[in-house]
Amino acid sequence: MSYKTDILSLNMSQLEKELDGLGCKNFRAKQIYQWLHTKLVDSFDEMTNLPSDLRVALDDRYDISPLTLVKKLESKEDGTIKFLFKLRDENVIESVLMTYEHGNSVCISSQAGCKMGCKFCASAIGGLKRNLTVSEMLSQVYYIQKVSGKRVSNVVVMGTGEPLDNYHNFLSFVKMITDEYGLNISQRSITVSTCGITPKIEKLANEKLQINLAISLHGATQEKRESLMPIAKKYPLAELMDACQYYYNMTKRRLTFEYNLMAGVNDKNEDAMELSKLLANRNCLLNLIPYNMVDIYDFQRPNKKSIINFKNKLEKNGINVTIRREMGEDIDGACGQLRRGSLE
């Protein structure tokens, strides 16, 4: 199937070059870019300060909206909203809007499916279908901001997929979502979560961006991590921690380590001790995530007392630790529950 050119994925300089071929002056590129990335229009007809013949020419050559809303679910517990979007090729992705006192946060997907195969995560179900384009990532944020009427202040790339496995498009997304001519979201308000592709962590460090990096750890030893996350066999824990230190050295941004607490798996006293040793003397935050149930897996969430005890042991060892506030669990919108959605 052939499509028109994806105009929403073009940054300002790329758009200028593209429009030069249509005989347009540079100021038209800025106008069009702002219609797309600030006013968030869905059609060229809405670009009222453009000549009508230019709008027709643009509509003949370019596509704007790569997503179609299939379903929207709202949590009765905390107001979190999950969006199920269909892509042009019939793949389906999920995004989540979470409202906090400090602002509105959108969790987006970076791939349709995921090939990392983490043993506890719903995103791995069905494997990887493909990377998302820049426009497909941007459009998740744009659609949610437009229909909710709420300014998006924070973006977390923690939905379906491994962002650093889609490195080029992810990097372009970050640069465009923080562009002064677009939504102009602060880099410090962008968080990306990775399962630990160490060469890409180092490559990202060299960009010297001010985004937040979150590492999906989930095991404090090589053996434990391998049993939960196949990626650990290719990129061992020691190598990952070296890459994390390099990221901090290059950006001076405190890292977050995410630790999914699973009863009887990684919540024992020895796990707390190993975790304390691993993170000692690092400028980091440890985010404990009580396991969110996924129907096809047998993992269980520890009880509240066990979770608090685990946290207390870490704090006594000098680790800066928090317990993640879970949102959207009743609509399968919490951490680890997003998957390449179904139309069923």
The catalytic site residues sit at 94, 335
Question: Given phi > 0 = left and psi -120 to 50 = alpha, else beta, which region is 24?
Answer: beta
Instruction: Of 174, 200, 203, give the one whose Cα is nearest residue 189.
Output: 174
**HSE, side-chain direction, 13 A CA sphere, residue 301:** 17
Counting beta carbons within 10 angstroms of the beta carbon of residue 153, is it exposed (0 to 12), middle (13 to 18) or buried (19 or more)? middle
Residues sharing a CB contact under 8 Å with residue 35, sequence separation 6 or more, in sequence order: 41, 46, 47
The per-residue DSSP string of 146-191 comes to: HHH---EEEEEE-SSS-GGGGHHHHHHHHHHHT-TTTT---GGGEE
Mapped to the 3 state alphabet, what secondary structure does 107-138 carry?
ECCCEEECCCCCCCCHHHCCCEEEECCHHHHH
CA-closest candidate to residue 177, choices 130, 214, 142, 131: 142
